Amino acid sequence: MNPRKPPTAPPCTLFLFGASGDLVKRLLMPALYNLSRDGLLDRNLRIVGVDHNASDREGFVEHLYGFMRERDQAGDCAGKCLDEKRWARLAKCLDYQTGDFLDPETYAALAKRIDATRHGNAIFYLATAPRFFPEVAQRLGQAGLLDESAGGFRRVVVEKPFGTDLASAEALNACLLKVMGERQIYRIDHYLGKETVQNILVSRFSNGLFESFWNNHYIDHVQITAAETVGVETRGAFYDSTGALRDMVPNHLFQLLAMVAMEPPAAFAADAVRSEKAKVIGAVRPWSPTMALKNSVRGQYSAGKQGRKRLPGYRQEPNVAADSQTETYVALKVMIDNWRWAGVPFYLRTGKRMSVRDTEIVICFKPAPYAQFRQSALERPKPNFLRIQIQPDEGMAFAIQAKRPGPEVVVENVELGFAYKDYFNMTPATGYETLIYDCLTGDQTLFQRADNIENGWRAVQPFLQAWAKGGEVHEYPAGQDGPKAADDLLAKDKREWQPLGRNRS
C-alpha cells in the first residue's frame, strides 16, 4: 500500500540569511533538493540567498552546485542521489541578494522582491551567527516585512543556539515578540526532524501497550544519550565559549526528554503538543547549587586513539585556550516533579570524541519482584528496557528475558525490535526536510515555543551557576565513553549506563 503523498507546500519566497555559511550548503540546500525531488515544493517557490559577500545568482548557484556534486561523489547521501535534471529545475528557483544585515537598503531590496510576487508569502530563515538574530528581526519589523495585513504569511526561522542562559533567552524572545506574533516564529531544532524522534509520539500515544506502563509504577529510570565521535574540529572559537551543556542540553536533550515524558496532548496539533512539552520541562526540579554539583559531571577529552588513529586533546584543537576549562562532555541527573514521574531519575549525557556515534533513549523498567529461577546461573534476571535508537540505524528494541535452549533453565537477555530501514523505504535525508516543509505549510508542532525555550534554560541554570563557582572538569581519553566520574554518578544510585553502539556486544 502506497502512503498518501503530502500536499504541495504553498508558493513562497524563502530568504536565507547567511547564505554563504555551512548550514545553507550542507543541510538546507540538500533538504530543499530532497523536498523538490519528492514534489513537495510549489513551482513558484523562490529561494533567495542573503549575505554581505558580493555575489550574484550565477555565483550562488555554482557555489551550491559544487557542494552538491562533492557530497554526491563522497557518498554522503547513501549513494548517488543528485539528479542533474532535478537540480536544474531547482536552480531556476535560486537567486541572491548582496546586502549588509544592518543596512536598511538590504530590507528595502527584499521588500521589492516580495512585492513582485502575486502571493506575498515570505519566510526569513536566520542561518546567521546568533548575534544577528535580534538585529535582523528588528530590521525586518522596521521595514514592515513581518506585516501580514495584506494577506500573505510572514514567518521567521531562528536557528540554535537560542540564547546562552535564561536571561539571554528571555531577552531574545522579548525582542522577537516585539515585532511579530508567536505564531510567526519557528525556533528550529533539527533533532525534531528525525523520523525516530517523531515516532516517539506515535509509539507512545497510538499503542495502548506502552501507555499502561509509562509511569513511575513500572519505570525505574530513563537514560538519554547523544554521543559523538567528532571533536570540535573548526568550531574551537565558538565551542570554547559555549561547551557541551549549552550546546546540547537545553535544546536537543531536553526536547527528547519532553517527547518521552510529556502527558498525552488533547489533540495532535501544534499548540496542544507544545503546551504539554512546556509543562513537563517546567516540572524539572530546580537543584540548589550544592545539589547541582552533586548531580552533574563535566568532562574534557584529552589525547587518545580511535582505532589506530591518534587524536589530539581538546586543548590542542585550533582556537581553544591552552588552559580551557570548557566541558566537552556532560552527564546530568534530573528529576521531574509531577504525578507520572515522581521518583524516576532521568540521566542525560552527551560528549564529543566518544567511542561511537550514538543518539538513543533507554527506558529502564523495574526488575521482576521475585527471582523464580534460583537454580539458574542468572539468579536475579536483568530488568527489561526499551531502546529507542535515533541515530545511526534508526529503530526500536525491547529487551526481555528468555530461556536458552537445553536441558537446564538458563535465562538470557534477548532483544526484540525493528529497524526503520527493514520496514520502510528510507530515502536520503538531512533531518531538515520535515521542518522546512512544516514551516512552509504553517505547522508549528515540531518547533519550540517561547515558554519551552525558557523552561529549558531555567532547568540548566543551576548547573551553569554552580559550575561558575567551582567543580572539577574530569579528563577522559579521546575515543572513550567519558570520564569515570560519569559512571560513579549512576553507581551512587546503584545503576549503570547502558553500553553504547558496538560496545553492547
The average pLDDT across 387-397 equals 88
Strands 219-227 and 296-302: unpaired
Measured N-to-C along each axis, helices 254-261 and 450-469 cross at an angle, to the nearest 10 degrees, of 120
Q: How many other C-beta atoms are found inside a 10 Å radius of the C-beta of residue 434?
A: 21
Distance, C-alpha 290 to centroid of its chain: 29
Kindly report which listed range (149-158, 310-319, 377-386, 461-470) carries the lowest average pLDDT score: 377-386
Percent of the chain past pLDDT 70, that is, above it, reads: 94
Average pLDDT of the residues of the chain: 90
Q: Give the cell for residue 243.
A: 561547551
pLDDT at 79: 44
- pLDDT beyond 90 at 307: no
**Residue of 70, 171, 14, 78 whose CA lies nearest to 425:** 78
Determine which helix (DSSP H) or strand (DSSP E) holds 51, and give its type and residue range: strand 46-51
Its pTM surpasses 0.85: yes
* DSSP 3-state percent helix, strand, coil across the chain (nearest 5): 40, 20, 40
Which of 63, 221, 252, 474 is an active site residue? 252
41/383: higher pLDDT: 41
Start-to-end C-alpha separation, the chain: 37
Kindly report the backbone phi and psi dihedral angles of residue 494, in degrees, each rounded to the nearest multiple of 5, phi listed first: 60, 40
CA dist 330 and 269 (Å) reads 33
Most distant CA pair in the chain, distance: 83
Reply yes or no on whether 190 is catalytic: no
Could you tell me if 140 and 156 are in contact, meaning their C-beta atoms sit under 8 angstroms apart? yes
pLDDT over 60 at 339, yes or no: yes
Amino acid at 466: A
Residues in the chain: 505
pLDDT at 452: 94
Closest listed residue to residue 153, CA positions, set 371, 444, 498: 444
pLDDT digits (tens, 9 = 90+) for 221-241: 999 999 999 999 888 888 999
Which DSSP string corresponds to 350-408? Answer: EESS-SS-EEEEEEEEPPPSS---TTSS-SSPPPPEEEEEEESS-EEEEEEEEEPSSSS
The Cα 330–Cα 350 span in angstroms is: 6
Question: Grid coordinates 545511526 are at which residue?
Answer: 392
CB-based contacts of 251, cutoff 8 Å, min separation 6? 160, 161, 162, 189, 191, 448, 456
Across 439-443, average pLDDT? 96
8 A C-beta contact, residue 41 and residue 8:
yes
- Residues 150, 427: contact at Cβ < 8 Å? no
306 strand-pairing partners: 309
pLDDT tens, position by position, 67-121: 888 877 666 554 457 888 899 999 999 999 999 999 999 999 999 999 999 899 9
Q: What is the pLDDT of residue 381?
A: 66
Contact at 8 Å (CB) between 476 and 313? Answer: no
Cα–Cα dist 425/251, whole Å: 29
Distance CA 139, CA 376 (A): 72
Cα distance between residue 18 and residue 53, in whole Å: 9
pLDDT value at residue 157: 97
Give yes or no for a contact between 374 and 389, defined as CB atoms under 8 angstroms apart. Answer: no
Measured CA distances, 421 to 167, 228, 309, 392, 426 (Å): 43, 22, 30, 11, 6
Q: How far is CA 113 from CA 7, 89, 448, in A?
A: 26, 20, 29
pLDDT at 402: 78
Burial grade of 351 (CB within 10 A; 0-12, 13-18, 19 or more)? buried
Identify any residues that bridge with 411 across adjacent strands, giving them in sequence order. 403
Task: Verify cis geometry, omega within 30 degrees of 0, for the bond prior to 264.
Answer: no
The helix-helix angle for 270-282 and 254-261 (nearest 10°) equals 110
- Residues 343-368 pLDDT 10s: 999 999 999 999 999 999 999 999 87
Residues 404/413, Cβ–Cβ less than 8 Å: no
Q: Each residue of 457-477: b (16+ CB within 10 Å) or e?
A: bbbbbbbbebbeeebebbbbe
Nearest to 439 by CA among 132, 124, 134, 205: 124
As to burial, measured by CB atoms within 10 angstroms (0-12 exposed, 13-18 middle, 19+ buried), residue 295 is buried
Q: Which of 47-51, 133-137, 500-504 is predicted with the least confidence, judged by mean pLDDT? A: 500-504
pLDDT at 80: 53
